Amino acid sequence: MSQGNNEAKKAQEEAPEQKTEAKAKDSSKEMKKEIKKEEKELKKEKSRIEDLEKQVKELSDKVAKEKDDYIRLMAEFDNFRRRTSQEKLDLVSVASEETIKGLLPVLDDCERAIAALKESTDSSAAKEGTELIYNKLTAYLKGKGLSPIDAKGQTFDTDVHEAVAQMPVQEEGQKGKVFDVVQTGYTLNGKVIRFAKVVVGI
C-alpha–C-alpha distance, residues 112 and 107, integer Å: 9
pLDDT at 159 over 80: yes
Residue 179 lies in a domain: yes
What pLDDT is attached to residue 132? 93
CATH number at residue 181: 2.30.22.10
pLDDT over 80 (residue 121): no
Mean pLDDT of the 97-117 span: 90
Average pLDDT of the segment spanning 31-42: 86
Which of 5-9, 40-44, 66-70, 113-117 has the largest mean confidence?
66-70
In this prediction, residues 63-74 reach a mean pLDDT of 94
pLDDT-derived band of residue 16, with 50, 70 and 90 as boundaries? low
Task: Please give the mean pLDDT across all residues of the chain.
Answer: 86
Asked if the model's pLDDT at residue 122 lies above 80, the reply is no
Confidence of residue 4 (pLDDT cuts 50, 70, 90): low
pLDDT at residue 166 greater than cutoff 70: yes
Neighbours of 138 (CB within 10 A): 15
* C-alpha–C-alpha distance, residues 198 and 155, integer Å: 11
How many whole angstroms separate alpha carbon 69 and alpha carbon 60? 14
Whether residue 173 is contained in a domain is answered as: yes
Average pLDDT over residues 39-52: 91
Indicate whether 40 belongs to any domain: no
Does any domain span residue 152?
Answer: yes
Could you tell me the pLDDT band of residue 126, with boundaries at 50, 70 and 90?
confident
The closest of 199, 93, 200, 180 to 144, measured between CA atoms, is 93
Range of the domain at 168: 147-202
Structural domain includes residue 5: no
Does residue 156 carry a pLDDT above 90? yes
User: What is the DSSP secondary structure assignment for residue 151, as one 8-state letter?
Assistant: -
pTM above 0.85, yes or no: no
Q: Give the span between the Cα atoms of 145 and 139, in whole angstroms.
A: 10
The yes-or-no verdict on residue 8 having pLDDT over 60 is no
Q: At 6, is the pLDDT very low, low, confident or very high (cuts 50, 70, 90)?
A: low
Provide the number of structural domains found in the chain. Answer: 1
- Classify residue 114: in a domain, yes or no: no
Does residue 39 fall inside a structural domain? no
In a domain, residue 91? The reply is: no
- Residue from 118, 155, 157 nearest 134 by CA: 118
